[in-house]
Amino acid sequence: KFGVAVVNGTAALHLALAALGIGNRDEVIIPDLTFVASANAVSYTGAKPVFVDIDKETWCIDVNKIKEKITNKTKAIMPVHLYGHPCDMDPIIELAEEKSLSVIEDAAEAHGAEYKGKKVGSIGHIGCFSFYGNKIITTGEGGMCTTNDDKLAEHMQFLKDHGMSKDK
């Protein structure tokens, strides 16, 4: 329902993490095969990226290996829909709900891809897109966070605008 435009895909990931309150001493689970921006955005918040092996068929995060990496410091799972291949989102969402974790979809390389009839970037709490020159949809640069949560959308807009009032 909501989109918040940012300068690039890395900024989208960073904004999503910040809006979810992820910071020092937290952990975020990411696949071990992804562009470095996924890990960098986690590091920018002071959190630690925790790498999980990929599925050898899809090259996306291996959902069967996520649970063993979850600790009491884990705050989010960041599946990356790599090369247009959607991650197996149902078990990721189920695990996240069971463990009270947020899900940030890195959909930078999967614009328009669908998982069981749902567009990637609309399944987790926040979806993040990149519009860099090598992406499926490009503006030369740019990015976007998407969410169906009106409070998260408002908070991301607030953070993106340096806390300035939208009424001024």
Which of the residues in the chain have pLDDT under 70? Answer: 133
Output the pLDDT for position 135.
73
Residue 68: DSSP 8-state: G
Residues listed for the chain: 168
Task: Give the pLDDT confidence of 112-129 residue by residue, as tens digits.
Answer: 999 999 999 999 999 999
Q: pTM, whole model, 2 decimals?
A: 0.93
Q: Residue 153 in 3-state DSSP?
A: helix
Residue 106: DSSP 8-state: E
Output the pLDDT for position 136.
75
Enumerate the active-site residues.
Answer: 135
The b-or-e profile of 55-77 (16+ CB within 10 A means b, else e) is beeebbbbbeebeeebeeebbbb
> Distance (Å, rounded) from C-alpha 99 to C-alpha 64?
15
